[in-house]
Structure 1
């Protein structure tokens, strides 16, 4: 989520910076499976004001059915807590940082409608994603623009990746005021600055005036083909696994963005691309249907007969779905047979990663590894080998939405042990400020991939400067609902 009015209001209630989600294929309609674990439970009350205890009873009933660790729920949870705190009290071993398999990712939000919209790539936003950096020796902070969404107010106003923002509506940003300044009203005036190699901030007198709108975010930011040293290198920047335009009134059936990816790979195939760089450094996840499609466009010798990943649910869900679907086949997701697959021309794929590469992005990395050489460049990924579903009250009496972890995933070889993240094949740290444009061959991560492919460096790798390593306090990507999502649409 970018500059959104709601973010500061619900941010303290979020239990993680990352969520999981995934789109379960061949789900039956609710009336076909009731009563069963496939049917989200609604509130049983019919009249009167909604109380916290009613919300908590609804949360607990659903967690008992579908939560991955439903056998470890507390025997007597305190129903008198506020809903967010009550939900937190149910999560398996979440405070035990020594346990890599604890629940780090389950999520609750006061508005189920906003939760679903953000999972579908829609939120109120100016269109920029940023990191918040400390300004050494002061209480001030600044925003370093990571990227700007296509067709957004920020892009039209001239904001670009690498810009530095020091003031909002005339006020210097500090560690205590920046969230309020970015979440008050819809109109913003951003003051820009330059950063010297020593880390000094020099305001340059430029301002950008931007208004927040309800924005449908296109996750496919850039695609390019480079011909270098006899190699045809395809490059794609992809920021969320989202199949298409969000539909607030029903199932998510639009495939605009899946089709865009398919068209890109059709061009790659037509142009004879024989090396691929997939930029997932800011991709926290999304619908597994889209991750399956993307992996199916890339994988070598993959088709609908090959396993992309398998799922492990709790015993209650497993027993019920095994019964309903005549065996365990529903737990296996196969690749798709894609006419525009370029795997026949690839011996490997390079994937650019960071500490915000999660879930469905990691599913692609893990799922492709049994079939081809997957090399990662950047920094260690989040380590999200679990997924979740979105649950809301179908009667709309309760407005909350919950995103509990419901399954663990593994690849065709049974590998699931990446809870600590994927350590990069080649570590390259992105600078804190002054990032170069996506597609610039001198940009550190892309440049390293090109070097590994061709043996030619477009620019010498420089030693980090003070400005490159300014302390990071947070990011708009941490506030993106659905971050780290492998999303299974609940029937």
Structure 2
């Protein structure tokens, strides 16, 4: 039997049945008693066969899945065992991004920006060269979040949690496995990092992030410069079927248009990706003279999915065109400046790659993450299986057939965020200031500032948002196998 479901929401395998052998007849008193099956192994088998069937159908590298994987493993281990995992030498084209979670509802919420959080994101550094000591520097704080209410601001440096100094051994448990925190702060004074007696107490709560973080208009040499900091591609809050957040982006660009903006700075430095529908919406507001007849990007699936989609919808189903947007400022733009870091990924890179055939895209910051593939959410609508999968199913190409950025986009102008951070949106903030200098003609073409932050990065909370980096697809319908 075949059914059609939204690929965004999942492939459902229907009722999963276990074959049970029933033996009738007489039993002697001394007959051996057949032991009961281990319930854990039975449940693992159910979940893992569901995982395997979905992956064999949808996974981009489905032809690389082992023929007879061990379905007795715990589901997370089983999922990991069937991935075509990246290896720089053996599998340079391999998978770096697929993941699994034990709660599909939590996965869906995370992808829409709703998590249990303090409302701040931070970078983790070694406190000094060769040291085990760790600090966390706050990158941004969500408005009205617990962290904002506690007075935490961008640039704050956390050296202790609940009275314990952070180090390479304990930082994960102290920062990521608790919900109540008393942060002990440090500061930079005369080039030296010193602990203080200043503390902030915060309790994490379920919080919905608005991806439209900041927007402004600056005047540079008589030209109007629009600035948008956008931190997540999602159409609406979790649980909503609307387009609230895309509408907010539209409103920002309507304002840019009304004010006569002719230069644009798009700040994606902390944006790890998200929903392709929001990426199409944003790109359509920026692209130079684009409309719904112009290609933004096209998709490549495994041969099985490709054959099915082509037979059902024709070849045009793989092409995603721009949209017609009354709020677009593309006609007034010849270029766009995109602020990037190592955490700029996936749907953010889709914007960069998709706009390049139509206008000059100048990146400022550090190299992007390097994710030219997308995933979809797979869950069991029957509710029998709680797990959620986010496997890679598609590769993206721009209208020129380009998809060669697995190493990330190197910055046109290279600059690293310093250890002393200025407020976002401040014209003296390092990345924004550099973009404004490029617009005014006072900045050099390509230069590097890599020594303004001597500390070694060991991680970031941004990487943990919705699996770290993500561009996911939806809308297209595919057949679902149903077990009898």
Q: TM-score per shorter chain, which class?
A: 0.7 to 0.9
Q: 1:44 aligns with which of 4, 13, 16?
A: 16
CA offset digits 1:377-419 (Å, max 9, x no partner): 1111111111111111222222111111101111111111111
Aligned residue for 1:7?
A: none
Q: Distance in 1 between matches of 2:149 and 2:82?
A: 45
Aligned residue for 2:401?
A: 414
By how many angstroms is 1:141 displaced?
0.9
CA offset digits 1:337-386 (Å, max 9, x no partner): 00010011111000011111111001000111111111111111111111
Number of positions where the alignment pairs a residue of Structure 1 with one of Structure 2: 450
CA offset digits 1:147-174 (Å, max 9, x no partner): 1112211112111111101111122112
By how many angstroms is 1:42 displaced?
4.5
Q: Distance in 2 between matches of 1:39 and 1:52?
A: 19
Aligned residue for 2:339?
A: 352
Q: Distance in 1 between matches of 2:277 and 2:442?
A: 37
Q: 1:104 aligns with which of 76, 96, 108?
A: 96
Q: 2:148 aligns with which of 133, 150, 155?
A: 155
Aligned residue for 1:425?
A: 412
Q: Distance in 1 between matches of 2:196 and 2:103?
A: 40
Are 1:263 and 2:251 counterparts?
Answer: yes
CA offset digits 1:77-108 (Å, max 9, x no partner): 22233222221221124234564421111111
Aligned residue for 1:92?
A: 84
The DSSP-based 3-state class of the residue aligned with 1:294 is helix
Is 133-142 or 155-164 further displaced after alignment? Answer: 133-142
CA offset digits 1:416-441 (Å, max 9, x no partner): 1111111111111112x221111112
Q: 2:371 aligns with which of 379, 384, 399?
A: 384
Q: Distance in 2 between matches of 1:462 and 1:425?
A: 10
Mind listing any 5+ residue stretches in structure 1 that lack a counterpart? 1-29
By how many angstroms is 1:463 displaced?
6.5
Aligned residue for 1:443?
A: 429
By how many angstroms is 1:31 displaced?
4.6
The DSSP-based 3-state class of the residue aligned with 1:393 is coil
Q: Distance in 2 between matches of 1:465 and 1:427?
A: 11
Q: How does 1:23-102 map to 2 (within 5 A)?
A: 31-32=3-4, 39-42=11-14, 44-45=16-17, 51-97=43-89, 99-102=91-94
Q: How does 1:164-313 map to 2 (within 5 A)?
A: 164-196=157-189, 198=191, 200-247=192-239, 252-313=240-301
Q: Distance in 1 between matches of 2:48 and 2:4?
A: 27
Flag the 1:59–1:32 CA change in 2: closer, same or farther, 3 A.
closer
Q: 2:461 aligns with which of 476, 482, 489?
A: 476
Report runs of 4+ in structure 1 exceeding 3 Å deviation.
Answer: 30-34, 37-40, 45-50, 95-100, 461-466
By how many angstroms is 1:471 displaced?
1.1
Q: What TM-score comes out, normalization by structure 1 length?
A: 0.87
Q: Distance in 1 between matches of 2:233 and 2:187?
A: 33
Aligned residue for 1:24?
A: none
The DSSP-based 3-state class of the residue aligned with 1:147 is strand
By how many angstroms is 1:303 displaced?
0.7
User: More relative contact order in 1 or in 2 (CA 8 Å, sep 6+)?
Assistant: 1
Q: Distance in 2 between matches of 1:255 and 1:436?
A: 32
Are 2:161 and 2:184, in contact at CA under 8 Å, matched by a contact in 1? yes
Flag the 1:482–1:178 CA change in 2: closer, same or farther, 3 A.
closer
Is 169-178 or 228-237 further displaced after alignment? Answer: 169-178
Q: Distance in 1 between matches of 2:86 and 2:451?
A: 36
Flag the 1:224–1:316 CA change in 2: closer, same or farther, 3 A.
same
Are 1:167 and 1:173, in contact at CA under 8 Å, matched by a contact in 2? yes
Is 100-109 or 157-166 further displaced after alignment? Answer: 100-109
By how many angstroms is 1:482 displaced?
4.2
The DSSP-based 3-state class of the residue aligned with 2:466 is coil
Are 1:286 and 1:483, in contact at CA under 8 Å, matched by a contact in 2? no
By how many angstroms is 1:203 displaced?
2.0
Q: Which has the larger radius of gyration?
A: 2
Q: 1:146 aligns with which of 134, 139, 152?
A: 139
Is 176-185 or 438-447 further displaced after alignment? Answer: 176-185
